[in-house]
Structure 1
Amino acid sequence: MDPKPLISFDNTENAFAYKSEKSLRKASFLFTSMGFQTLVKLGTSITPWAIRAGLPIRGLIRNTIFEQFVGGETLEETAPVVNTMAKYHVQVILDYGVEGGDYGEEGLDHAGEEFMKVIRYAATQPNIPFMSIKVTGLARTGLLEKLDAASATKSGFEGRVHTEVLTDSEKKEWDKVVGRMERICGLAAELKVGVLIDAEESWIQDPVDALTMQMMAKYNKEVAVVYNTMQLYRIDRLQFLKDSYNAAEQQGFVLGAKLVRGAYMEKERERAAEMSYPSPIQPNKEACDRDYNLAVEFCVEHVERIAVIVASHNEFSNLYTTQLMERKGLAHDHEHIHFSQLYGMSDNITFNLAKAGYAVSKYLPFGPIQDVIPYLMRRAQENSSVAGHTGRELGLIKKELARRKSTD
């Protein structure tokens, strides 16, 4: 029998203490709108086109979905959000919202410089322990695909990238990618800022895993600087976590593991069906939840060598982590266990964990509106397709509005 909960995620007074009544009403309207699937489908197909076409909708986006889920268009604009979070003992993971696209070498170099700018800024802020990067912001997607296809053994945890399939010019291109990663991780190690490497689609993930393991082997000797993101909606990731741990043990470094359920499920299933290969995605939600919670168990069990970030909006997974920590006698703010949720979602989890003394952060993207549109469209689709989650968010907001009204 599970021990009694150490914490309640139903406390809306804690969850929304940082929000004014006006902000709560705005959020209520937005989540209600995202409950209408037809409206979301229409919005997600028209918005990217409208932005590209220069239609005057930036103000509308900025005052609604952008304001809810993004920290600002520039690094400096994130400061008020970061300062507000600090008042409630919630930390921040900064994410410069650039991802896959054909930017050219100049654009990829620029993204690398921006990531380093974020690290320098985070190093001056006591409330920003981590920043997040996407390798698709540093490397051409086609190059990653070619490298992934060459990695038939699927052994990214070995830290080996199969460059023998590349042409001479592609090898030079890959060397530049490695150079960008080296500069980013080296600076982060020097300035003591954690770097979370985001997960990608399964058909480009192998070289990302291998490169991340290379960086961990070099920079995680004493403390966790570099973290790999593991999407547990993939059937192979629990084993990959264990293999990565074995590699860390053999090579003498701390494994940084950010555990998520995943972000590309529909895309993954569609591609597998189109190209007639077995889907890498779990058969159902139960299987995904099981592997996620087993991954958390594994990390807590091996907490001496694994620094884990439980990046989840699932209430049970967060609660279960606190129970495992209690069972093992670990401090709430243990240096190797961190919790995180996306800015704009699951405040009931984040702020109640913070109130109970756990190390927890909000993942805070920032960037020009046109650059964060893919991120925003994913948030809209996610909240539309997961009706239960939207209903939960909305129910909590309404509960808090009613509580405030009754105490007036």
Structure 2
Amino acid sequence: MNTDLIFDNTEIAFSLKSDSELERAFFLFKMISIEPLVRIGTVATNFAIKAHLPVEGLIRATVFDHFCGGVNEKDCLPVIDKMYEKGVSSVLDYSVEGKETEKEFDDAKNMIINIIDFAKSKEAMPIAVFKPTGFGRFKLYEKIGKGEKLNQNELEEWQRVIKRFDDVCKKAKDCNIEVLIDAEESWMQDTADELVSGMMRKYNTEKPIVFNTLQMYRHDRLAFLENEHKKAKEGNYFLGFKLVRGAYMEKENERADEKGYPTPICESKFATDQNFNKGLRYILDNLDCISLFAGTHNEDSSYLLMRLMKEKGLDNNDSRVWFGQLYGMSDHISFNLAYKGYNVAKYVPFGPVKDVMPYLIRRAEENTSVAGQTGRELALLTKEKKRRKNL
């Protein structure tokens, strides 16, 4: 797809890693590549944390420090500053999941507002992020999506969810920080989409500040994107979209099977890849109105986006196009893109060790299930270890 295979350059990819960090990364991906080990490790880790066994230190020194920036935003500063020296920005991701109370939702909202405040004086942090279910109950989104009538308490609860979204989006606009709103399971997503679209109408009047997320393993997302574009042109506002392949495939297929409706997921990995790449093309064809954050660990899609930008005569650092990867993964994509002057941001998860464990476990499971992902990481780490040995 592209003759200049920049992602093979391991010297640039791992320039921030010391020899010991390189060894730790190799060890972790080696462990993650063994599926039974991931299953056993997940059960053992969950048990150890629930039983209050003294494992936090071990987790912190290994998997946590590799995939997370720290336990709080200030703790992440060394990681943020170090990456920015190489041209890679940070998206601080408060990765505490599964909260259910109004206080926890308010705390999450206040945390995002603090991050935006924290980010406005740091060039290295142009983007913030949150999950819809960080600000409200999953079941409430689901009930609204089904068109069920809310009782008085639920109506008031929903108004508080809307206000949390609004508070954060207003703060983002005031501070000129883009805010990415993550996508979740399809059976709550329609409600979240409607809410995010309203925030775009309200706050994307001069440029995209609020970004929705499209999981392109869903076969309906391209049509949704086109429809949102039509509404934005009519309403004279801008759109921002983060494109990802998707994170809930097994859950989506199982639920569709169990409840007897057609799965919303594309029929194959190839169809998902095609859908993702069509989304890239569509946005690049409409950059006057839509900005893109391409969240991908896929080399072919990254090369395609580079090629499309070149064909359209765009500068590598055009502010309307960002590439994004997760901290601790695909450094060969992030740092080589940044070296070539593209806009690149790493999602940097943070939070108390025990609260971030569901996130870390999902990362391990995803790496185990994504064909070739872990093997590619191991091959590149091996190549860099050899290169350093031969210096």
Interval of TM-score (by shorter of Structure 1 and Structure 2):
over 0.9
Aligned-residue sequence identity (percent) comes to 46
Q: Please name the residue that 1:249 is paired with.
A: 233
Q: Please name the residue that 1:399 is paired with.
A: 383
Residues 135, 208 of structure 1: 8 Å contact kept: yes
Cα deviation for residue 7 of structure 1 reads: 5.1
Map Cα deviations across residues 201-254 of structure 1 (whole Å, 9 max, x no partner): 111111111111010101111111110010001111111111111111111111
Map Cα deviations across residues 73-121 of structure 1 (whole Å, 9 max, x no partner): 011110000010011011111111123332x111111111111111111
Cα deviation for residue 170 of structure 1 reads: 0.7
Q: Please name the residue that 1:117 is paired with.
A: 114
Q: Please name the residue that 2:192 is paired with.
A: 208
Q: Please name the residue that 1:176 is paired with.
A: 160
Q: Please name the residue that 2:304 is paired with.
A: 320
Cα deviation for residue 124 of structure 1 reads: 1.6
Pair 1:167 & 2:151 matched = yes
Cα deviation for residue 6 of structure 1 reads: 4.6
Map Cα deviations across residues 138-157 of structure 1 (whole Å, 9 max, x no partner): 1011111101111xxxxxxx
Deviates more, 1:54-63 or 1:325-334: 54-63
Q: Please name the residue that 1:279 is paired with.
A: 263
Q: Secondary structure at the match of 2:294?
A: strand
Structural mapping, 1:260-275, within 5 Å: 260-275=244-259
C-alpha distance in 2 between matches for 1:383 and 1:224? 32
Deviates more, 1:265-274 or 1:335-344: 265-274
Q: Secondary structure at the match of 1:165?
A: coil
Q: Please name the residue that 1:156 is paired with.
A: none
When the two chains are superposed, the root-mean-square deviation of aligned CA atoms in Å is 1.1
Q: Please name the residue that 1:351 is paired with.
A: 335
C-alpha distance in 2 between matches for 1:212 and 1:321? 25
Unaligned runs of 5+ in 1: 151-163
- 1:73 corresponds to which letter in structure 2? V
Cα deviation for residue 58 of structure 1 reads: 0.8
* TM-score of the two chains, using structure 1 as the length reference: 0.94
C-alpha distance in 2 between matches for 1:247 and 1:301? 17
C-alpha distance in 2 between matches for 1:55 and 1:204? 36
Q: Secondary structure at the match of 1:263?
A: coil
Residues 15, 347 of structure 1: 8 Å contact kept: yes
Structural mapping, 1:131-170, within 5 Å: 131-150=128-147, 165-170=149-154
Map Cα deviations across residues 254-288 of structure 1 (whole Å, 9 max, x no partner): 11000000111111111111111111111110000
Residues 120, 191 of structure 1: 8 Å contact kept: yes
Q: Secondary structure at the match of 1:9?
A: helix
Q: Please name the residue that 2:46 is paired with.
A: 48
Aligned length: 391
C-alpha distance in 2 between matches for 1:148 and 1:100? 20
* TM-score of the two chains, using structure 2 as the length reference: 0.98
Pair 1:363 & 2:361 matched = no
- 2:98 corresponds to which letter in structure 1? G
Residues 201, 235 of structure 2: 8 Å contact kept: yes
Q: Secondary structure at the match of 2:99?
A: coil
Structural mapping, 1:90-101, within 5 Å: 90-101=88-99
C-alpha distance in 1 between matches for 2:99 and 2:111? 16
Residues 100, 140 of structure 1: 8 Å contact kept: no
Map Cα deviations across residues 333-378 of structure 1 (whole Å, 9 max, x no partner): 1111010100000011001100111011111111111221111011
C-alpha distance in 2 between matches for 1:266 and 1:339? 26
Residues 99, 105 of structure 2: 8 Å contact kept: no
Residues 34, 384 of structure 1: 8 Å contact kept: yes
Q: Secondary structure at the match of 2:349?
A: strand
Pair 1:31 & 2:29 matched = yes
Q: Please name the residue that 2:316 is paired with.
A: 332
Cα deviation for residue 53 of structure 1 reads: 2.2
Deviates more, 1:266-275 or 1:177-186: 266-275
C-alpha distance in 2 between matches for 1:257 and 1:319? 19
- 1:369 corresponds to which letter in structure 2? V
Deviates more, 1:43-52 or 1:227-236: 43-52
- 1:240 corresponds to which letter in structure 2? F
Q: Please name the residue that 1:227 is paired with.
A: 211
C-alpha distance in 2 between matches for 1:372 and 1:54? 15
Q: Secondary structure at the match of 1:256?
A: strand
Match of 2:358 among 358, 374, 391: 374
- 2:116 corresponds to which letter in structure 1? I
Residues 101, 141 of structure 1: 8 Å contact kept: no
- 1:347 corresponds to which letter in structure 2? D
Q: Please name the residue that 1:73 is paired with.
A: 71
Runs of 4+ in 1 over 3 A off after TM superposition: 4-7
